């Protein structure tokens, strides 16, 4: 397949055409100020939240050439276009989230649908949604039929953008009622409840249990944690636990005591905050001989120079097991993730004494490089 340079991708993309129209409109009416823009968004959002829409009109907008929704989204479950398939978006997102996806596409990017930007060795630039990838090539998709296959050997730089391919400013092409109609139409896409779904483990009706159960907080409410992702007992210490906080990348030592629980810092790796995708601490596993060698392993995901990188590092606890020893960590495994989402993070020692590392499925791309089965890591230390 012949590669398609970025400028061509953009010129054939209806969506970009819409953005151009929209910015022209802003200039003409001189409503370009950020405040007015924010107010307009708010008013559109509020109206569409509380007003029902007309399904037929919504369908017309969706299929219209000027809005171009259908050039980027399938609604038949095929997921053949650049944007996510919307056939069950009504199950996935509430009305407010659907409105936000249309009004501010880059505010929250659907998992795995960040824009990938590539620069080749001969100076061509491409951007699009990474749909397929093998060891030899990657395929980027734009609106409609636009797509480009780029040989991995030709790639000089590859970057995951924090922007959406979906154009901003679509609300300027829609009245408040138009938006309500469009949202009504999209929100009506729901997966049919069926027998087969029931057997796949998604019951239509969830029966209430006859004897209610109580959920009792494990530690005192005085201690709060910032998006905890992992919790476990320190081997051989029945009252002592570690808790991992995800994006802020801190580990807390929690001591259960008769006089009240106590929380102290075990390790602080500094924040790995990011708008999109999961970054920061993901998981922890103690060495099977932790009490003798104090070794433990961490899964850490970071974002560096437009690339999502997953690490497995080994560290050592202090002699009293109450904090990290401060000794330099050892990188056991490092690999560049294919996308910015679903990059795993579970660590577990098997009964065979091997450390098993969860690699993730890269979201909707379903692990195109087969990392989970047959990995060629960037670095592997034994």
Residues within the interface to ligand HEC (CB under 6 A)? 13, 15, 67-69, 71-73, 82-84, 86, 89, 92-93, 98, 101-102, 105, 109-110, 113, 129, 143, 164-167, 170, 182, 186
Sign of CA dihedral 42, 43, 49, 53: negative
Closest distance between ligand HEC and the C-beta of residue 169, in Å? 11
339 secondary structure, DSSP code: S
Task: Spell out the residues 6+ positions from residue 66 whose beta carbon is closer than 8 angstroms to its own.
Answer: 14, 18, 21, 173
DSSP β-ladder status, 295-304 and 280-286:
antiparallel
Complete DSSP assignment for 108-160: SPPTT-PEEEEEETTS-EEEEEEEEE-SSEEEEE-STT-EEEEEGGGEEEEEE
Closest distance between ligand HEC and the C-beta of residue 112, in Å? 9
Closest distance between ligand HEC and the C-beta of residue 163, in Å? 9
Closest distance between ligand HEC and the C-beta of residue 11, in Å? 13
Of the two residues 111 and 314, which places its CB atom closer to ligand HEC in the complex? 111
Of the two residues 98 and 138, which places its CB atom closer to ligand HEC in the complex? 98
166 secondary structure, DSSP code: S
317 secondary structure, DSSP code: B
Closest distance between ligand HEC and the C-beta of residue 75, in Å? 10
Of the two residues 96 and 370, which places its CB atom closer to ligand HEC in the complex? 96
Of the two residues 98 and 333, which places its CB atom closer to ligand HEC in the complex? 98
- 34-50 and 95-103 are packed helices; what angle lies between their axes, rounded to 10 degrees? 150
Cα–Cα distance for residue pair 341/363, rounded to 1 Å: 6
Of the two residues 189 and 225, which places its CB atom closer to ligand HEC in the complex? 189
């Amino acid at each position: 397949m012949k590669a398609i340079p970025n400028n061509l991708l953009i010129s054939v993309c209806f969506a970009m055409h819409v953005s151009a129209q929209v910015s022209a409109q802003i200039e003409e009416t001189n409503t370009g100020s950020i405040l007015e823009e924010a107010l307009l968004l708010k008013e559109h959002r509020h109206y569409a939240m509380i007003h029902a829409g007309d399904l037929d009109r919504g369908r017309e907008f969706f299929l219209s050439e000027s809005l171009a929704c259908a050039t980027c989204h399938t609604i038949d479950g095929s997921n053949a276009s650049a944007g996510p398939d919307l056939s069950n978006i009504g199950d996935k997102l509430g009305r407010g989230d659907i409105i936000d996806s249309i009004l501010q596409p880059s505010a929250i990017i659907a998992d795995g649908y960040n824009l990938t930007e590539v620069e080749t060795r001969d100076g061509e630039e491409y951007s699009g949604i990474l749909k397929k990838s093998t060891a030899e090539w990657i395929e980027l998709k734009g609106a409609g039929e636009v797509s480009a296959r780029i040989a991995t050997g030709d790639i000089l730089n590859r970057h995951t953008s924090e922007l959406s391919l979906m154009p901003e400013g679509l609300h300027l092409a829609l009245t408040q009622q138009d938006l309500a109609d469009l949202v009504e139409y999209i929100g009506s896409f729901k997966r049919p409840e069926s027998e087969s779904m029931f057997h796949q483990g998604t019951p239509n009706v969830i029966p209430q249990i006859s004897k209610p159960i109580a959920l009792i907080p494990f530690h005192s409410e005085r201690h709060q944690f910032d998006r905890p992702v992992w919790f476990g007992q320190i081997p051989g210490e029945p009252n002592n636990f570690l808790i991992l906080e995800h994006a802020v990348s801190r580990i807390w030592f929690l001591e259960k005591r008769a006089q009240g629980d106590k929380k102290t810092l075990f390790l602080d790796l500094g924040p790995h905050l990011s708008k999109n995708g999961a970054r920061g601490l993901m998981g922890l596993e103690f060495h099977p001989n932790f009490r003798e060698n104090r070794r433990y392993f961490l899964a850490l995901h970071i974002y560096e120079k437009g690339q999502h990188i997953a690490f497995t590092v080994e560290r050592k606890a202090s002699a009293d097991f109450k904090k990290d020893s401060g000794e330099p960590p050892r990188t056991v495994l490092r690999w560049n993730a294919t996308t910015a989402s679903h990059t795993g993070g579970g660590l577990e020692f098997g009964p065979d004494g091997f450390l098993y590392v969860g690699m993730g499925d890269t979201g909707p791309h379903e692990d195109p490089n087969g990392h989970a089965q047959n990995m060629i890591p960037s670095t592997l230390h034994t």
